[in-house]
Amino acid sequence: MSQLFGQTLREAPNEAEVDSHQLLLRAGYIRQLGAGIFSYLSLARRAMNKVEAILREEMNAIGGQEITMPVVHPATLWQETGRWYQIGGEMGRFTDHVGRDMVLAMTHEEVVGDLVRKDIRSYRQLPRLLYHLQTKWRDDPRPRAGLIRVREFTMKDSYSLDADWEGLDQQYRAHYQAYFNIFNRCGLPAIAVKSDVGMMGGQLAHEFMFLTPIGEDTLILCDCCGYTANRQIAGLKKSPAAPEELKPIEKVATPHTPTIQALAELLNVPTARTAKAVFMMATITEGDKDIDRFVFAVVRGDMDVNETKLANAVKAKDLRPAREDEIRAVGATPGYASPIGLAGATHASPLLVVIDDAVAASPNLVAGANEAGYHLLNTNTPRDYKADVVTDIAAADAGSACPTCGSPVRASRGVEVGNIFKLGTRYTEALGANFLDKDGQSKPVIMGSYGIGVGGCWPVWPNCITTPVG
């Protein structure tokens, strides 16, 4: 110990708020260089080496071949897949000495796709599983809690390559089990939950979560049937509205009722008989350009909007609350708004109306009259207003009905420690990474992507129990 570089600290620095950050600093494991950027000293490096050895053993056990891919990528690769235009400020971009756009690796799907199109020619070369342990950079605006949320980190990312969807299913299940083996060997209790595919794209994703009160993710868990999901995508069983004939709209005075609760109390109706308006500005990529669109979202008054579901519904790369001037520009009145009778958005910010499926199925709801102090009784869609999108945009929370069995669910906080994605042909089609099948037909290689952070967690994861892949 006397020969170790660095020193132990009697007191933790003031900026270290959570126990893990304080202990790592005081014991001389890490030192901070910048926001979300750390040096790992000798004791931390020894621990990481042991974790990496476990990762290699478990990846090799399911047929993985270790390679090393670059940290710096030509932007042209990311432009081919479209993610250059879809990802916002989290992507590290720079130009080299001759002015070419370059990318600091966030992940390596593009590079794997490029390797595939150069080296895979026949179905006889499939399946394959590649992995590496490499540095990643994601310029998160809110790094926090030491290694819980960092900007630079080491990740084990693996990529499965298959000729058919059955092969992808098999490799996905192999990773699902391998991840539980890894966490069990590391003494890290984790659960698997369904998650949003996010910037990765694809058809299905699971996150592996360590349950802790300091986690940034909210998980929805059903103790009755075992349903688990990140709140970002969690479904809920919505109480059906009683069928009734559509009634004519009636304008009523509702002074001093800018909230749903105040409105329901004044009119003596349940909040489920009201429509709640939420205003957002969405950045949406059309071609190679980003445009801003005003999103008018409507959920039933007994529910809240899930912003991840809403962003997915309109294919937004970014979503933010609309300002009051932007709300009034479309003819809506904050606190008393509905999509009925809107003046319309500006050409630079066209209007999108998105309503929850429970609103579409609920007759005669109370909604805003777009006039301060007034609401409309008996509003109905599509009679009184039309939606551009009708889908589930409601947020599940503790006490919501489980979408599988209907029992009340509970909410728990968690830290993401791993994730797996069924990418399908999202990247190989874009990059022309094809192979010839048994019949001589050219087809895109089918991919999966699987990640575990080694030294720190990244933004965009009871005892270790394996459960079936849902």
pLDDT digit string, tens, across residues 178-227: 999 999 999 999 999 887 665 555 567 899 999 988 888 899 999 999 89
Q: Which whole number is the average pLDDT over 374-397?
A: 94
Query: What is the average per-residue pLDDT within 341-359?
Result: 76
Do 277 and 325 lie in one domain? The reply is: yes
Task: Check: CB of residue 224 under 8 Å from CB of residue 401.
Answer: no
Same domain, 83 and 199: yes
pLDDT of residue 468: 33
CA–CA gap between residue 94 and residue 100 (Å, rounded): 8
Task: Give the confidence band of 53 by pLDDT, cuts at 50, 70, 90.
Answer: very high
Q: Are residues 320 and 287 in the same domain?
A: yes
Residue 467 has pLDDT above 60, yes or no: no
Asked if residue 348 is part of any domain, the answer here is yes
Is residue 405 situated within a structural domain? no
Rounded Cα distance, 156 and 178, in Å: 13
Number of domains in the chain: 2
How confident is the model over 141-161, as pLDDT tens digits?
877 778 888 899 999 999 999
The pairing of strands 389-391 and 275-286 is unpaired
Q: How far apart are CA 142 and CA 63, in angstroms?
A: 37
Going by pLDDT thresholds of 50, 70 and 90, the confidence category of residue 465 is: very low
Q: Are residues 352 and 437 in the same domain?
A: no
Residue range(s) defining the domain that contains residue 336: 250-391
Per-residue tokens: 192 = 């698997």
Q: Is the pLDDT of residue 100 over 80?
A: yes
Can you tell me the mean pLDDT for 425-437?
96
Structure-block tokens of residue 366? 């109370």
Residue 6 lies inside a defined structural domain of this protein: no
Q: Above 80 in pLDDT, residue 360?
A: yes
Q: Per the domain annotation, does 8 fall within a domain?
A: no
Residue 424: CATH number of its domain = 3.30.930.10
Assess whether pLDDT exceeds 60 at residue 421. Answer: yes
Q: Is the pLDDT of residue 343 over 90?
A: no
**Largest Cα–Cα distance of the chain, in whole Å?**
83
Please name the residues in contact with 460: beta carbons below 8 A apart, sequence gap of 6 or more: 90, 138, 198, 199
CB atoms within 10 A of CB 221: 21
Rounded to the nearest angstrom, the gap between the alpha carbon of residue 52 and the centroid of all alpha carbons in its chain is: 26
Q: How far is CA 89 from CA 100, 137, 138, 164, 287, in A?
A: 19, 12, 9, 35, 19
pLDDT surpasses 90 at 113: yes
Q: What is the pLDDT of residues 259-272, one digit of tens each?
A: 899 999 999 999 99
CA distances from 139 to 37, 90, 122, 206 (A): 10, 4, 38, 23
Would 462 be classed as within a structural domain?
A: no
Average pLDDT over residues 329-350: 76
Same domain, 164 and 34: yes
Residue with tokens 């919505």: 238
- Pair 219, 92 in one domain: yes
Residues 122, 223 within the same domain: yes
**Amino acid at site 397:** D
Identify whether 360 is part of a domain: yes
Same structural domain for residues 58 and 163? yes
Residue 439 placed within a domain: yes
Q: Are strands 65-66 and 128-137 parallel, antiparallel or unpaired?
A: parallel
